[in-house]
Amino acid sequence: MRFHHHLIETVTPCVDHGRYPAKRIVGEQCVVEADVFRDGHQVVCAAVRWRRARDRSFVEAPMQPLTNDRWRGQFPLDENTRYVFTVVAWTDPYASWLVDFRKWVEGGRRDIGSELLEGIALLKTIRRRAGAGDERGAVDEFLARLDGEQDGPAALAIFSDPKLCELAARLASRVDATTYAPLLEVVADRPRARCSAWYEMFPRSQGRAPGRGATLREAAARLVDIQAMGFDVVYLAPIHPIGQAFRKGSNNSPDADGDSPGSPWAIGSAAGGHTAIEPVLGGLEDFDYFVAEANGLGMEVALDFALQCSPDHPWISEHPEWFYHRPDGSIRYAENPPKEYQDIYPLNFDSPDREAMFKAIREILRFWIGHGVKIFRVDNPHTKPVDFWAWLIGDIQAAHPEVIFLAEAFTRPRMMQALAKAGFTQSYTYFTWRNSKAELTEYLTEMTQTSMREYFRPNFFTNTPDILMPILQQGGAPAFKMRLLLAATLSPAYGIYSGYELCENEALPGTEDYRNSEKYEIRVRDWSRPGNIKGFIATINQIRRDNAALQQFDNLRFLTTDNDQIMLYVKATDDLRNVIMVAVNLDPFSTHECTAFVAPEAVGVSAGEAYFVTDLLTGNRYRWAERNYVRLDPHTAPAHLFLVSREL
């Protein structure tokens, strides 16, 4: 029976003991840490071994000891792909012997003959492991210098020569090596997976004629305006054919008139299903034109991926076994009591024919990837099995690692986290419902300071077609500015639903639902009407692009103020070359003031050292220290967005 001397514990990054991959960005170093130790007092060595998941051979890099048996190493994430890695530990016999030999010599022991012989024997073993040539010749030189040497200090100097120690460490036998299991995985996503600004739109509502839906070519005319606001992802509500059966009318009325365009989420008609285009929007050539125009402006198109069907979807007749059936034989429509969605049939993921259904779903994604789509916003993923998403996302990304999946799952926290672990690149969050300083601090601390940081990438949407929060309904333009600034500076990924720039805030009484929602009707807007905040949005997005600190997430640190209506936080790059500090008035109705307490190390200065801050929203400059006065009027400036500098 062979016993292992070495113990390797608490390896990071690691999600659920290696069951799921950690998330990183291509071009970064994957920093690996582990507790590595062994019985006795011998010298331990450790290394991180890694490879691309598709490769067979590993590459190795040394790990360095930190404190208390904690070790750290790293490896480069040079490619947008999946990597696997592990940690290996072994004993260095030469270094272990040298530690004791040094103690004997420096302790004054005169009889060191036996220890000298032991050291020379180790060098001869190293020589046998050396390749013919320079390595073996170098060892021979040291052996020659030790021949006949009996003086302890002189021998110690030879044995301690850095060149010899490096050779001994590199050529050491690893007969007692221990390798951590299981292999751990990390996904290296492209940069837009972490940092992106999303703009959600209904293409049919981008026209100028009331009551007539715009085509995709007409909708493409709005891309210049969206790009000017600084967005880099244009997310389209479903563009597929809309069913006629049980078509909903204005404000989700079950009594639709003949002019109702229907909900885009009621997917499927005689014109086709999930790989077809709603005829009002045009055809595939029009979609390809829209994608090309967006790409030409430096933006990407994200598609809504909603796995549900209208009663008119071709799958209803072709694959009735893919749906839930009531005892009377009818297909069950979607329900979320007390709401009913007669125009939508959910898929049955326990269908006896589910394997064929899963392959058909995969083909939908492959089809749109073939038309230039690299980002999918997935509708209600929490109503489907988590293992299904792990399979589907893994399968798609094996061939197309650049594809990004955003989970729209406003559900229980554990399920939201499970979906992120299973492979979703980004996730919707509860940010929309977090308004107070305590709520925001607690929620963001959980995401940035716990294990969630390894796998959960939030996308802070300020609003959605389904969610118009009371603070936006009541707070006017100051609330819209404040919430956008929070979303855009707290998280590197955020989004707005179109109309936000116009501060649209009319809701059905007592609800979070928009009045006259464009989910059920075609809207026509004046995108430059007075009172819009397009310039403010463009400024915020430009600041995000110019400051690397705002393109990261887990570098967030909250600071202290003596007013609960003013939140203060800082983000900084690791080298402290870019430090951004944000003070926000969370009350859109009233002016507030406070004393802001800034820990010197948070902004990269020494205790007692003054520094300068420039408000990137106004250009004003201030001299700051550890205690600072802040006054914010939401009607003139809801926040300070400071760039920190030591120089005036």
CA distances from 491 to 125, 234, 514, 596, 638 (A): 56, 18, 25, 22, 18
CATH topology of domain 190-239+277-307+347-502+511-551: TIM Barrel (3.20.20)
| Residue 68 or 124, more confident | 68
Q: Is the pLDDT of residue 1 over 70?
A: no
Residue whose token pair is 């790059």:
573
pLDDT, residue 258, reads: 74
Contact between 590 and 460 under an 8 Å Cβ cutoff? The reply is no
Any idea what the Cα angle at residue 406 is, between residues 437 and 320, rounded to 5°? 130
Domain 6-92+176-188 identical in fold to domain 556-645:
yes
From the candidates 286, 343, 379, 518, give the one annotated as an active-site residue.
379
User: What tokens were used for 381?
Assistant: 């993923």
Residue 530's contacts (CB-CB under 8 Å, 6 or more residues apart) are none
Examine the pLDDT at 595 and tell me if it is beyond 80: yes
Distance CA(534)–CA(532), nearest Å, equals: 6
Q: What's the pLDDT at 143? A: 87
User: Which of 244-258, 320-334, 558-572, 627-641 has the weakest average pLDDT?
Assistant: 244-258
**Average pLDDT value for residue range 306-323:** 97
Catalytic hit among 278, 408, 454, 587 = 408
Helix or strand or coil: residue 14? coil
Average pLDDT value for residue range 186-194: 98
408 is catalytic: yes
Out of 3.40.50.300, 2.60.120.260, 3.40.50.720, 2.60.40.1180, the CATH code matching 556-645 is 2.60.40.1180
Examine the residue annotation and report whether 379 is marked as an active-site residue of this protein: yes
Residues in the chain: 648
Rounded CA gap, 118 and 111, in Å? 13
- pLDDT > 90 in the chain, percent: 82
The burial of 562, by beta-carbon neighbours within 10 Å (0-12 exposed, 13-18 middle, 19 or more buried), is given as exposed
pLDDT at site 140: 86
Give tens-digit pLDDT for 138-150: 888 888 898 877 8
Which sequence spans correspond to the domains of the chain? 6-92+176-188, 94-170, 190-239+277-307+347-502+511-551, 556-645
Q: Select the CATH number that applies to the domain covering 6-92+176-188 from these four: 3.90.1330.10, 2.60.40.10, 3.20.20.140, 1.10.10.10.
A: 2.60.40.10
Q: 22: closest CA among 107, 82, 62, 68?
A: 82
The 3-state DSSP class for residue 66 equals coil
Least confident of 70-79, 331-340, 636-645: 331-340
Q: What is the predicted pLDDT for the residue at 404?
A: 98
pLDDT confidence tier of residue 187, bands split at 50, 70 and 90: very high
Measured CA distances, 458 to 7, 405, 600 (Å): 35, 12, 29
Using one digit for the tens of pLDDT, what is the confidence trace for 375-427? 999 999 999 999 999 999 999 999 999 999 999 999 999 999 999 999 999 99
pLDDT reading at 521 higher than 90:
yes
Q: Pick the more confident residue, 463 or 116.
A: 463
pLDDT tens figures, 35-91: 999 999 999 999 999 999 999 999 999 999 999 999 999 999 999 999 999 999 999
Measured between alpha carbons, how far is 463 from 498 in angstroms, rounded to an integer? 9
For residue 131, pLDDT beyond 80: no
Q: Is residue 648 predicted with pLDDT exceeding 70? A: no
Q: List, for residues 194-246, the tens digit of each pLDDT value.
A: 999 999 999 999 999 888 999 999 999 999 999 999 999 999 999 999 999 99
